[in-house]
Amino acid sequence: MIERSGEESFARQGLSGVLFGATVLAAATSLPEVSTGLTSTELGDHQLAVSDIFGGNAFLPVLFLLATLISGKPVLPAAHDTDIYLTALGIILTVVYMTGLVFRPRRQYARMGVDSIAVVVIYLVGIAGLATIAT
């Protein structure tokens, strides 16, 4: 019901359902990670926050296998341009954070490291690109 109403409200604004899924639904489904991240950060256990996020991202490709097993045919060849785009965006964002974990930038701006600022910028540009591709 949330998906249908959100898709309809986005359609009335001239936006696609893919954009709704990539923004609003993604934010709603990531609330457990946000809660875990905020709580673990308050406790000073940054490893828990990072492992929760990367663990969730690492599990998502397994869903392609599950979808293939359930449908009985490969699902990746039927992927849309927007699906491939979002997958690439997710990979790029994960690589930026992995680079941040390796090099550990000390300098912060607005209480965020350079890697986090890069992720915000890449995400915003990526969503703008998605809006262009989806229409």
Q: What is the pLDDT of residues 103-117, one digit of tens each?
A: 887 888 888 889 889
Tell me the per-residue pLDDT of 10-59, one tens digit each, with 9 for 90 and over: 677 666 667 776 777 777 777 888 888 888 888 888 788 778 777 777 77
**What is the average per-residue pLDDT within 75-88?**
82
Cβ atoms 109, 117 nearer than 8 A: yes
Spatial distance between the Cα atoms of 3 and 8, rounded to a whole number of angstroms? 9
Spatial distance between the Cα atoms of 46 and 31, rounded to a whole number of angstroms? 17
Mean confidence (pLDDT) of the chain: 81
pLDDT of residue 118: 93
- State yes or no: pLDDT of 85 exceeds 80: yes
